[in-house]
Structure 1
Amino acid sequence: MTRDKKILQFARNLVELSLDNGVVTESRVTDVLNALKKAELRNKLALLKTYLYYIRKAVAEQTAVVSTPGALSADTLSAIESNFTQVYGRPISAVTQDDPSLIAGVRIRIGDDVYDASVSGRLKRLADNVH
């Protein structure tokens, strides 16, 4: 149990080392992985798996995945980035994802948070309220 807590804490510290101005960067992650490669550690595989989990979580928390049935303009994506950067108090970058099932509107996912302003989402909420 203590070993697991140590691995979790060490992995969290490695994620902190992977941040550059609050953003996970490829160069920092590469530096951390190169240092780990040279280090003599017990349970290196468990540490790497835990580190990967936390890195994925950190990247998801700094990325707004904008799902739309059609294309969005660069100005709209920029507005989404600036709005959510202000809301979350950390840098947020937006990426688009095509999803024709939304019919119209957008669904934005940042980490575990989902903002749904799509027609299909509204229809689903309406159907849930009818029953």
Structure 2
Amino acid sequence: MNRSEIMRSVKSQNTAPELLIRGLLHRLGFRFRLHRRDLPGSPDIVLPRYRAVIFVHGCFWHRHPGCRLATTPKSRQDYWLPKFMANIERDHRNTEALQEMGWQVIVVWECEIKKNEDLEHRLKHALTSRESR
């Protein structure tokens, strides 16, 4: 498989980590919408009742700081480094725009999904503490 076939096969929606988060939220009783294109960054999960959005980020593509999965390819760094910087800057712009609109932005990193109990607690706390305000 050549590079372009590999890149074409990388999904941006309905990824395995995203499906796991959606299942977790559903089991916890949260109801949500998916990929609202009218919001900056088209968030993966939107919880209108809680005025919250969740982005499920892959550690490699979105450059999770300090994560072992956020490796940098050794070859073609003139291609990869600007691409990664553009992703980081876009994520930052989208987060700021959403916050200015009054949305709470929650980022779930791919590597966090393995720590299911911690993630469950973090999501419940973020969403329910916001509701009580």
| TM-score, length basis structure 2 | 0.25
**Could you say which structure has the higher strand fraction?**
1
**Could you say which structure has the higher helix fraction?**
1
Which of the pair has more CA radius of gyration? 1
Which has the higher relative contact order, 1 or 2, with Cα contacts under 8 A spaced 6 or more apart?
2
| TM-score, length basis structure 1 | 0.25
